Amino acid sequence: MTTSSLPESLIATLPGDHYTSQELFRLEQEHIFESMWFCVARSADLDRPGRYRTFQVGRESVLVTRSRDRTVRAFFNVCRHRGAQLCTQPSGEVKRAFQCPYHAWTYDLEGKLVAAPNLTKMPDIGRTEFGLVPVQVREWLGYVWVCLADDPPSFEEQVVGDVVARLGDAEVIERYSIEELDVGRRIVYDVAANWKLIVENFMECYHCATIHPELTEVLPEFADGYAAQYFVGHGAEFGADVKGFTVDGSEGLDRIPTVTPAQDRRYYAITIRPQVFVNLVPDHVILHRMYPVAADRTIVECDWLYLKDVVARDEDISRSVELFHRVNTQDFAACERCQPAMGSRLYAGGGVLVPSEHHIAAFHEWVLDRLGPPSGRAGVSRG
């Protein structure tokens, strides 16, 4: 069947090459990941001055650290001398400064060039002018978001706006006090699939009855194929016999006290474009960040967040973590199953979206809109 012959109740997906093309991925890096607010780290990962993490954001490596005034700062991870990558490790800690391993130019935690061999003989080198180039930073929900654009979009419109569009009200998410929670478990998944397959999968629940037996036990309405994301403001209700959001429906951990009775025993799922998924349940929050690294590879870092006391007392969160770890494993296996077929000639015109998946078409339109008109997609240069 070609997509042009689809009946009205079905809609075409993106063509297969949108999940395999290096050129399209490069455009996505430029027009999406390097242009929008991009969530990189848990603020608590940078809990003292000098601790740092490095991330690939689009085509750039970004260094995120905490400076002596305790603010979070982000820089292009590029030495201003001859361009060596300053920090090559994914995370670490420096005492007072970052020293380039090539010729030892040294930058303080605010990015200022503070030392370089023979620098006194080079009076024309401005220490601020040749400091690390900063990247815009915001903190929200206890996470660090960066934006590489010269003129960043409004954080409220882009990031908070997506949450409001899904929940109808940012207060719903704020009641989970996410910035006050601690990471109980973090699992990093290396997924051999295009980032859009992962987003699309997260947005729909047509697959839930087939691949998520544990999740549909806890959230019986998911067996019908309509995701919590399909309806604005809707939280999926726990099954009648379910005590908590755990792999066997057994009791969970201490509830987050600011969660309202209306939100209790419910599960909310939110996609924050371009690369964050949030799940809210009464006793914990699950937050995924995707780091797309190639057209066919995406790293997903997933945090399970609990009340500080739950983490400090080292309570048993294993049944709680296991539920969504299984969901993740099942979802990512499905995405990896689709990825090779995206290059099949059978998928050149794409596949189909059934009615319960129609909201995914809005995501496709959004991606295409970001990339610009098809005629302009070839050979677009960096601004």
Using the rule CB under 6 A, is 117 a contact of ligand FES? no
Q: How many residues bind ligand FES (CB under 6 A)?
A: 10
Query: Residue 22: CB partners within 8 Å, gap ≥ 6?
Result: 295
Nearest to 77 by CA among 50, 54, 108: 54
Reduced to 3 states, what is the DSSP secondary structure of residue 279? strand
Using the rule CB under 6 A, is 102 a contact of ligand FES? yes
Judged by CB under 5 A, which stretch of 13-21, 39-47, 121-129, 330-338 contacts Fe ion? 330-338
Judged by CB under 6 A, which stretch of 20-28, 36-44, 77-85, 350-358 contacts ligand FES? 77-85
Using the rule CB under 5 A, is 331 a contact of Fe ion? yes
**Identity of the amino acid at 212:** H
- Tokens found for residue 268: 């909310």
- Tokens found for residue 41: 């780290």
Q: How far is the CB of 98 from ligand FES (least distance, A)?
A: 10
Using the rule CB under 6 A, is 186 a contact of ligand FES? no
| Order of strands, sheet of 236-237, starting from the edge strand that comes earlier in the sequence | 182-191, 297-306, 284-294, 276-281, 266-272, 236-237
The residue (of 283 and 331) whose beta carbon lies closer to Fe ion is: 331
10 Å Cβ neighbour count for 36? 22
84's contact among Fe ion, ligand FES, none, with CB below 5 to 8 A by partner kind, is ligand FES
Determine which residue in the list 36, 74, 100, 334 makes contact with ligand FES, applying CB under 6 A. Answer: 100
Count of CA atoms in the C-beta half-sphere (13 A) of 169: 5
Q: Residue 268 class from Cβ within 10 Å (0-12 exposed, 13-18 middle, 19+ buried)?
A: buried
State which of positions 213-272 bind Fe ion (CB under 5 A). none
- Cα–Cα distance for residue pair 155/172, rounded to 1 Å: 18
Q: How far is the CB of 382 from ligand FES (least distance, A)?
A: 22
- Tokens found for residue 244: 């908590």
Q: For residue 263, list its beta bridge partners.
A: none
Q: Is 327 in contact with 212 (CB distance < 8 Å)?
A: yes
323's contact among Fe ion, ligand FES, none, with CB below 5 to 8 A by partner kind, is none
Using the rule CB under 6 A, is 231 a contact of ligand FES? no
> Residue 12 is inside which H or E element, if any?
strand 11-12
CA dihedral 154, 156, 162, 163 (to 10 degrees): 160
Using the rule CB under 6 A, is 107 a contact of ligand FES? no
Judged by CB under 6 A, which stretch of 96-104, 184-192, 258-266, 302-310 contacts ligand FES? 96-104
159's contact among Fe ion, ligand FES, none, with CB below 5 to 8 A by partner kind, is none
- Cα dist. 120→64, 105, 127 in Å? 29, 13, 11
Determine which residue in the list 68, 70, 82, 313 makes contact with ligand FES, applying CB under 6 A. Answer: 82
The residue written with tokens 């496709």 in the block is 364
Using the rule CB under 6 A, is 103 a contact of ligand FES? yes
Judged by CB under 6 A, which stretch of 59-67, 76-84, 198-206, 315-323 contacts ligand FES? 76-84
79's contact among ligand FES, Fe ion, none, with CB below 5 to 8 A by partner kind, is ligand FES
255's contact among ligand FES, Fe ion, none, with CB below 5 to 8 A by partner kind, is none
Using the rule CB under 6 A, is 81 a contact of ligand FES? yes
- Cα–Cα distance for residue pair 337/344, rounded to 1 Å: 13
247's contact among ligand FES, Fe ion, none, with CB below 5 to 8 A by partner kind, is none
331's contact among Fe ion, ligand FES, none, with CB below 5 to 8 A by partner kind, is Fe ion
Determine which residue in the list 10, 84, 94, 352 makes contact with ligand FES, applying CB under 6 A. Answer: 84
10 Å Cβ neighbour count for 209? 14
Name the site residues for ligand FES (rule: CB under 6 A): 79, 81-84, 100, 102-105
Name the site residues for Fe ion (rule: CB under 5 A): 331
